[in-house]
Chains A and B, each alone.
Chain A
Amino acid sequence: MSATTHAHDHSHDHDHGPPKGLMRWVTTTNHKDIGTLYLLFALVMLFVGGGMALVIRAELFEPGIQFVNPDFFNQMTTIHALIMVFGMIMPAFAGFANWMIPMMIGSPDMALPRLNNWSFWLLPFAGTMLLATIFMPGGGPAAGWTLYPPLSLQGGNSFPFTIFSIHLLGVSSIMASINIIVTIMNMRAPGMTLMKMPLFVWTWLITAYLLIGAMPVLAGGVTMLLTDQFFGTSFFLAAGGGDPVLFQHIFWFFGHPEVYIIILPAFGIISQIIPTFSRKPLFGYDSMVYATASIGFLSYIVWAHHMFTVGMPLAGEMFFMLSTMLIAIPTGVKIFNWLSTMWQGSLTFETPMLFAVGFLFMFSIGGFTGLMMAVAPVDFQYHDTYFIVAHFHYVLVPGALFAALGGAYYWLPKWTGHMYDETLGKWHFWLSTIFVNLLFFPQHFLGLAGMPRRIPDYATQFADWNMWSSIGGFGFGLSQLLFVWVVIKCARGGARATDKVWDQPNGLEWTVPSPAPYHTFERAPEVR
């Protein structure tokens, strides 16, 4: 990371600027510094987790066992997921929250700056501990990121390290959430009422509540795993009267809100980008807020749709099926509001808008396959096949990740004071879009044809689509190097960005100079 921090040192050279040197980043309590750290950490983890994905795709390029043994393959699927969820996408959105929320609500900083520093600095340690398990005797965790017992309890030395790193990642995100809620509730500029807040702030407020509700439940669940293994409890051990299915309920009670913890900030970013490039205010602001809140509530009562095949009374299957389908209503409200915002707008398609429109289209594909799997009787066919892999990657990659990339392009000029290279940005978008579809779309076919997930080998009839999928995977991974280059180039120089950056952006962040000074809104702005 130190190579990239130098690039940033240059862009903050002015009066009352930050102290120099490495210790600035270790001791910083500035929301912009911490936001930058979060974003850089997420970028590094994108490539770490992405590298593991490429190990998986290389192995699946052809049938048979080529490069890695099955146990290492299982470690890759497990750690790839844990890193991407807890180490990449959540820190990325926490980075956006740190950078943008204080500027959007006219606050000088986060409410709890020192806690903020701590929340970030737990992450590198937790991430290192998780990654270090790969080099332990017996290798890293290999039971899938869901850590289902009894399999996860049969792991080697990596098991307690995995659990502790999940604890640390959880503590980090809970502290960040507390900070975000306190900031939003107490630090708004006078006149910035709740219903005037930009939608990104709203979605993060609800996300933070979801995190506080869900993350501790996961912490409890993995603690039970830990005591089952080392302290003689029997929460999930059948021999001692426990029940492994109980873990699945606890895990998914966390796991489903987690899905929306990942996607709601993405919704927020999209809701900032689309109005700017449509040159119209967001259509249906109030309904967007209520839709977000409804999604947040519903996320707590649908968890067992991940467990249709585990065994449930008919009434249970019906309840979880119908409540899951209900989520399509507020999500549909959002999609149609975005479309209505674009309707008759004077649209231009700069890179952030391209990513937003790509998000809209491809996230909807993932949403529809989600709706298909909500139907309990057909879920029995899709369960644990590549169809579910295609589904959740569509909502996470061209969904959440595209929103994060779009947000990065959207605010980069504000962060660095320079315009990014528009041509390269467009190349990045189109290459990513083509390859991400090549990567994940064929997986729908593979899943419907019955290819099981998390297996390093497959029957030969799946060979062609797997080959295409792997080509897409490598193409997508390499395309992201272009993004790194765009960011480095933009941090180093380029055309000067104006304060407004875009034609008609809305929000307080566009009233401060570009690059945003180290301290903003020390005197609260006037909000009408």
Chain B
Amino acid sequence: MAGGDDIRRSNRRLTLRLAAAAVAMFGFGYLLVPFYYLMCEVIGIGGRTADAVAAAPLRVDAGRTVTVELTGSVNQDAPWEFHPKDVKLQVQPGRLYTATFVARNLSDQPLTGQAIPSVAPGTSARYLKKTDCFCFRSQAFAPAETRELTVQFYLDPALPRHVDRLTLSYTLFLQPAVQG
């Protein structure tokens, strides 16, 4: 057929372009990961709290009290007992508080756990600032060890007025044994 070589060349060019597009879309799938976290941060959803902040000297809103409820749970069948010492705190925005959780290793093995925080309602997560938290590090437990874990936080006075109650929850995950 006349022009057969031309067709073959343009077939080849288009094939390579489309294959490149497929590879690029594979990469795009991975690009969705940072994009997802960026969107969560911008919109302020997902219930994630930010990393440690320095305790900024803040105006304390003494005229307002917000109830912060604390819950602790254990992922799947991880062998811990884990609960907050006090289930409720009355908090004035801008003031620094310390909440204490108690964890007990129920097994006779050394365990390492990682606590993952979540705040409800999720849109308030960005107003809960932590200056220090046991969730910033993984926690190693000796067999049958009981230990207190603390989190220091304050509420940003910019917290919308209609929010008078938030829940700060931690789930303790068993950290998989690090493979050598």
Q: CB within 8 Å of B: which residues of A?
A: 111-112, 115, 174, 177-178, 181-182, 185-187, 212-221, 224, 232, 235, 238-241, 243, 245-246, 249-250, 253, 311-313, 316
Question: A186-B10, A313-B123 known; A212 and B18 CB under 8 Å?
Answer: yes
Contact A186 B32 (CB under 8 A): no
Taking the complex as formed, is B33 at the interface, i.e. its CB lies under 8 A from any CB of chain A?
yes
Taking the complex as formed, is B19 at the interface, i.e. its CB lies under 8 A from any CB of chain A?
yes
Taking the complex as formed, is B173 at the interface, i.e. its CB lies under 8 A from any CB of chain A?
yes
**Chain A residues in 8 Å Cβ range of B15:** 111-112, 115, 178, 182
Q: Other than A216-B24, A219-B29, give 12 A-B pairs with Cβ distance below 8 A.
A: A111-B11, A178-B22, A186-B10, A215-B25, A216-B23, A217-B25, A224-B30, A241-B116, A243-B46, A246-B32, A249-B36, A250-B32
Contact B45 A212 (CB under 8 A): no
Contact B175 A239 (CB under 8 A): yes
Task: Give the interface SS of chain A, mostly helix, strand, loop or mixed.
Answer: helix
Contact of A239 among B33, B122, B173 (CB under 8 A): B173
Taking the complex as formed, is B111 at the interface, i.e. its CB lies under 8 A from any CB of chain A?
no
Q: In the complex, A224→B32 CA distance in Å?
A: 12
Taking the complex as formed, is B43 at the interface, i.e. its CB lies under 8 A from any CB of chain A?
yes
Q: In the complex, A374→B46 CA distance in Å?
A: 23
Taking the complex as formed, is B75 at the interface, i.e. its CB lies under 8 A from any CB of chain A?
yes
**Chain A residues in 8 Å Cβ range of B37:** 243
Contact A312 B45 (CB under 8 A): yes
Contact B11 A216 (CB under 8 A): no
Q: In the complex, A238→B176 CA distance in Å?
A: 12
Contact A232 B11 (CB under 8 A): no
Contact B116 A186 (CB under 8 A): no
Task: Give the interface SS of chain B, mostly helix, strand, loop or mixed.
Answer: helix
Q: In the complex, A221→B26 CA distance in Å?
A: 9
Question: A217-B25, A238-B171, A313-B45 known; A181 and B18 CB under 8 Å?
Answer: yes
Contact A220 B116 (CB under 8 A): no
Contact A181 B14 (CB under 8 A): yes
Contact A253 B18 (CB under 8 A): no
**Chain B residues in 8 Å Cβ range of A312:** 45
Q: In the complex, A215→B24 CA distance in Å?
A: 11
Q: Which 7 A/B pairs are nearest by Cβ-Cβ distance?
A: A220-B29, A239-B173, A216-B25, A216-B26, A217-B29, A178-B18, A111-B11
**Chain B residues in 8 Å Cβ range of A212:** 18, 21-22, 25
Subset of 30 A-B contacts with CB under 8 Å: A115-B15, A177-B18, A178-B19, A187-B7, A212-B22, A212-B25, A213-B21, A216-B23, A216-B24, A216-B26, A216-B29, A217-B28, A219-B29, A220-B30, A221-B29, A224-B29, A232-B176, A235-B33, A238-B116, A239-B114, A239-B116, A239-B175, A239-B176, A243-B36, A246-B33, A249-B32, A253-B32, A313-B43, A313-B45, A313-B123
- Determine the residue in chain A with the shortest Cβ distance to B6: A186
| Min distance, Cβ B8 to any Cβ of chain A, angstroms | 9
- Determine the residue in chain B with the shortest Cβ distance to A183: B11
Contact B14 A186 (CB under 8 A): yes
Contact A217 B11 (CB under 8 A): no
| Min distance, Cβ A132 to any Cβ of chain B, angstroms | 26
| Min distance, Cβ B56 to any Cβ of chain A, angstroms | 25
Q: In the complex, A249→B31 CA distance in Å?
A: 12
**Chain A residues in 8 Å Cβ range of B175:** 239
Taking the complex as formed, is B91 at the interface, i.e. its CB lies under 8 A from any CB of chain A?
no
Q: In the complex, A311→B22 CA distance in Å?
A: 31
**Chain A residues in 8 Å Cβ range of B46:** 243, 245
Question: A186-B14, A232-B179 known; A311 and B122 CB under 8 Å?
Answer: yes
Contact A112 B11 (CB under 8 A): yes
| Min distance, Cβ B21 to any Cβ of chain A, angstroms | 6
Contact of A217 among B32, B45, B173, B174 (CB under 8 A): B32
- Determine the residue in chain B with the shortest Cβ distance to A523: B1
Q: In the complex, A214→B7 CA distance in Å?
A: 28
Q: In the complex, A212→B29 CA distance in Å?
A: 12
Q: In the complex, A239→B35 CA distance in Å?
A: 20
- Determine the residue in chain A with the shortest Cβ distance to B116: A238
| Min distance, Cβ A332 to any Cβ of chain B, angstroms | 30
Q: In the complex, A243→B37 CA distance in Å?
A: 9
Contact with A along B104-148 (1 / 0, CB 8 A): 000000000010100000110000000000000000000000000
| Min distance, Cβ A27 to any Cβ of chain B, angstroms | 21
Tell me which of B27, B29, B116 has the highest count of chain A C-beta atoms within 10 A of its own C-beta. B29
- Determine the residue in chain A with the shortest Cβ distance to B174: A239
| Min distance, Cβ A232 to any Cβ of chain B, angstroms | 7
Q: In the complex, A249→B34 CA distance in Å?
A: 12
Contact of B11 among A182, A215, A243 (CB under 8 A): A182
**Chain B residues in 8 Å Cβ range of A115:** 15
| Min distance, Cβ B12 to any Cβ of chain A, angstroms | 9
Contact of A215 among B10, B19, B22 (CB under 8 A): B22
**Chain B residues in 8 Å Cβ range of A182:** 11, 14-15, 18
**Chain A residues in 8 Å Cβ range of B10:** 186
Contact of B26 among A181, A187, A219, A232 (CB under 8 A): A219
**Chain A residues in 8 Å Cβ range of B45:** 311-313
| Min distance, Cβ B14 to any Cβ of chain A, angstroms | 5
| Min distance, Cβ B51 to any Cβ of chain A, angstroms | 11
- Determine the residue in chain A with the shortest Cβ distance to B43: A313
- Determine the residue in chain B with the shortest Cβ distance to A254: B29
| Min distance, Cβ A377 to any Cβ of chain B, angstroms | 18
